């Protein structure tokens, strides 16, 4: 199962359009999780205490673990997140807080180092940027989490940048990026 984590707030999102081209290239069915509709809650004191107590008991039956279980079971993960303020929308960070559950997506080895438990072997991060794109605090963060904590060995970035620069043709840049997907291995 491909899990599409959609972090696009706009109905006519360029990032979502690019992500759907990626999903078309991958083929097959996918489950879409629209984070702005889902509204994952940040871990406040009460939620964190509840979650910690359940993890300590090894009880993952509560709905607080639903996102983590879904993420851990996915075969392929596609995340679409526009490039906002040199990163990604805050709703994606809230989602990550909800999925990073010891015992479901990650565990600690005997040496104290994280061991990923996710089934996925591939994560594709899709973004668009109005100006130049710097992946360090967006894709770089997701790539590090995937490889070092979730156990997802293969990540890739699909992006279109410079879309809002005066004189650039945003539609042409986006269309070219979508066409170029045909020559890429995802």
Q: What is the pLDDT of residue 11?
A: 86
Q: What is the pLDDT of residue 67?
A: 98
Q: Give per-residue pLDDT as tens, 55-80.
A: 999 999 999 999 999 999 999 999 99
Pairing assessment for the beta strands 106-108 and 114-116 based on DSSP bridges: antiparallel
Among candidates 60, 52, 150, which has minimal Cα distance to 100? 150
φ/ψ of 85, rounded to 5, equals 50, 45
- What is the DSSP secondary-structure string of the chain? -EEEEE---STT-HHHHHHHHHHHHH-S-EEEEEHHHH-PPP--HHHHHHHHHHHHHT---SGGGHHHHHHHH-SEEEEE---BTTB--HHHHHHHHHH--BTTTEEE-TTS-EEE----SEEEEEEE-SS---GGGTHHHHHHHIIIII---EEEEEEE--TTSTT--HHHHHHHHHHHGGGS--
> What predicted TM-score, i.e. pTM, was given to this entire model?
0.96
DSSP classification of residue 122:
E
Q: Which domains does the chain have, with CATH numbers?
A: 2-183 (3.40.50.360)
Q: What is the pLDDT of residue 90?
A: 96
Q: What is the pLDDT of residue 134?
A: 95
Q: What is the pLDDT of residue 130?
A: 97
Q: What is the pLDDT of residue 121?
A: 97
Residues of the chain scoring pLDDT < 70: none
φ/ψ of 23, rounded to 5, equals -60, -40
Contact criterion met (CB below 8 Å) for 122 and 30: no
Tokens, residue 115: 């061991």
Q: What is the pLDDT of residue 186?
A: 87
């Amino acid at each position: 199962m491909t899990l599409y984590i959609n972090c696009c707030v706009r109905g006519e999102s360029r990032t979502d359009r690019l992500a759907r081209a990626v999903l078309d290239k991958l083929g097959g069915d996918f489950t879409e999780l629209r984070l702005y509709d889902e509204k994952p809650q940040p871990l406040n004191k009460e939620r964190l205490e509840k979650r910690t107590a359940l993890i300590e008991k090894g009880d993952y039956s509560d709905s607080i673990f639903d996102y983590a279980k879904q993420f851990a079971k996915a075969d392929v993960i596609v995340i679409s997140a526009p490039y906002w303020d040199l990163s990604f929308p805050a709703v994606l960070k809230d989602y990550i807080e909800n999925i990073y559950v010891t015992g479901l997506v990650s565990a600690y080895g005997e040496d104290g180092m994280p061991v990923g438990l996710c089934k996925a072997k591939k994560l594709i991060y899709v973004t668009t940027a109005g100006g130049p794109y710097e992946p360090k605090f967006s894709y770089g963060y997701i790539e590090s989490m995937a490889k070092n904590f979730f156990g997802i060995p293969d990540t890739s970035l699909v992006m279109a940048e410079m879309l809002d620069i005066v004189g650039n043709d945003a539609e042409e840049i986006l269309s070219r990026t979508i066409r170029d997907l045909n020559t890429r291995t995802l």
